[in-house]
Amino acid sequence: MSTIKIKGYQRSNDLFGIRNHIVVMSSVSCANFVVEQIARTNADVIPITHQHGCTHMGADTEQVLRTLSGTCNNPNVGGVLLVGLGCESVNVNSIASQVDNSGKLVKTLVIQEIGEIQKIMDTARDSLQQIKEFVSKQQRSDFDIKNLTVGLECGGSDPFSGITANPAVGLVSNKLVELGATVILSETPEMIGAEASLESRIPDEAVKQKIMGRIKDYVQMIKDAGGDSRGCNPAPGNIKAGLSTIEEKSLGCIIKGGHSDIVEFVEYGRRPLCKGLVVMDTPGNDAESVTGMAAGGANLILFTTGVGTPVGNPVAPVIKISSNTKMYQRMSNFIDIDAGKIIGGTQVEAVADEMFDFIIDVCNGRQTAAEVNKCREFSVNRIGPTF
């Protein structure tokens, strides 16, 4: 298959961004107010706030740090202002130390060190001016689609998801993998009941054991919490939409990955090392899953939905695909592509081609509905309690 060139911003030898965002991020929830104030006076920056950064321990501290630094490392980001309080567990210096600043500029600001709010705002203004000057000099250049990373998500699924939108995404996944790109299949709990289909596509035994073991972990966690996902469906919206069991939902979920071999299993928010189809260990929660894939370097997300959702991401464009036309017509301001027309006779291959062309357009600057609406949900998956 011939190579396809798209436009982007080179961050390192093999990383290219399809956006050139300036991000203002809090290192801890205590700094959220200041980040929001800075963003109010700078319409061209993207604020990222969250409820983390302190009073968690061990693996949680590591995962929060990995997710925050990974989001800053996303190749769609050209400049970052990190805003911290000064006494938190995950501070601005620990985040900045894990950000590759080749092709981007990173500045920090600590509230307790500066003190007065006006001085804080003045410092932020000066830092952002430097970042804006740096970002404005970044030039778009051609890069091969093999350097693209695409995340896959489904949320608010219905019985049509597994026969319209998700199979069309699967065909796009196949094409991207054939072109040498990286595709991330997420939502480990939504693989429960589809283990046999997955196992046959994992040639590496170590990768297979990791994925199967992690699925078993989720089954046990559900049991420990007093539930059992097998033979039922845990989401009220899925039940109302008509999905019968978690097995039906899971088989519809994994078809988004097409038929390619699964070559790697990565932790939440960690960048894949391999090209091809990769599984990331994310929860089924839409915002947390998309956040993890963006932190893992996804340039954009293909997000299928049956009942509709506005969920987006601060740094990675999210392309919304409806599984049925009725929902597409009702929520057209939130949806980019209607895969529901497959039900009316349109070939799934034709919808997949439309989707692939849309991806190329988004890479070259077209805004998704989520971007137009400024849907910028950011939610870090947590492992344990807050202390």
pLDDT digits (tens, 9 = 90+) for 299-338: 999 999 999 999 999 999 999 999 999 999 999 999 999 9
Question: For position 232, what pLDDT does the model report?
Answer: 53
**Whether 240 and 271 share a structural domain:** yes
The CATH number covering residue 23 comes to 3.40.50.2300
Which among 108, 28, 24, 105 is positioned nearest to 61, based on CA atoms?
28
pTM: 0.95
Distance between start and end Cα atoms, the chain: 53
**Whether 48 and 179 share a structural domain:** no
**Whether 184 and 269 share a structural domain:** yes
**Whether 219 and 126 share a structural domain:** no
**Whether 168 and 129 share a structural domain:** no
Helices (H), 269-347: 286-295, 325-330
**Whether 131 and 193 share a structural domain:** no
Report the C-alpha gap between 71 and 131 in whole angstroms: 17
Residues 358 and 364 sit within 8 Å (Cβ to Cβ): no
The one-character DSSP state at 9 is E
Residue 377 falls inside a structural domain: no
Q: Is the dihedral of CA 119, 125, 127, 130 positive or negative?
A: negative
Which among 239, 237, 245 is positioned nearest to 192, based on CA atoms?
245
Residue type, 93: N
**Whether 161 and 77 share a structural domain:** no
Residues 267 and 256 sit within 8 Å (Cβ to Cβ): no
Domain boundary residue, one of 136, 169, 196: 136
User: In the chain, how many domains are there?
Assistant: 2
Please give the helix or strand (H or E) that residue 46 lies within, else none. strand 46-48
Residue 382 falls inside a structural domain: no
Residue 386 falls inside a structural domain: no
Question: For position 238, what pLDDT does the model report?
Answer: 67
Question: For position 241, what pLDDT does the model report?
Answer: 61
**Whether 114 and 249 share a structural domain:** no
Q: Treating both helix axes as pointing N-terminal to C-terminal, what angle do 348-363 and 165-178 enclose, rounded to 10 degrees? A: 60
> Who contacts 92 (Cβ-Cβ below 8 Å, separation ≥6)?
27, 82, 83, 84, 108, 109, 110
Question: For position 240, what pLDDT does the model report?
Answer: 63
**Whether 302 and 189 share a structural domain:** yes
**Partners of 204 in the beta sheet?**
none
**Whether 121 and 255 share a structural domain:** no
Residue 315 falls inside a structural domain: yes
Residues 51 and 381 sit within 8 Å (Cβ to Cβ): no
**Whether 84 and 156 share a structural domain:** no
Which domain does 74 fall in, by range? 5-136
Instruction: Give, in order, the Cα–Cα distances in Å from 136 to each of 20, 79, 86.
Output: 9, 10, 30
Report the C-alpha gap between 236 and 156 in whole angstroms: 10
**Lookup result for tokens 């046959």:** 200
Residue 125 falls inside a structural domain: yes
Contacts of residues 40-45 at CB distance under 8 Å and 24 or more positions apart, as own/partner, are 41/121, 41/125, 42/128, 44/132, 45/81, 45/128
Residue 379 falls inside a structural domain: no
Domain boundary residue, one of 136, 169, 192: 136
Domain boundary residue, one of 136, 165, 180: 136
**Whether 181 and 115 share a structural domain:** no
Residue 72 falls inside a structural domain: yes
> Who contacts 383 (Cβ-Cβ below 8 Å, separation ≥6)?
59, 60, 63
Residue 213 falls inside a structural domain: yes
Residues 157 and 323 sit within 8 Å (Cβ to Cβ): yes
Give the mean pLDDT per block of 10 residues along the chain (387 residues). 86 91 98 97 96 94 98 98 97 96 94 97 98 96 96 88 93 98 95 90 97 93 76 61 64 88 98 97 95 98 95 98 96 97 97 98 97 98 88
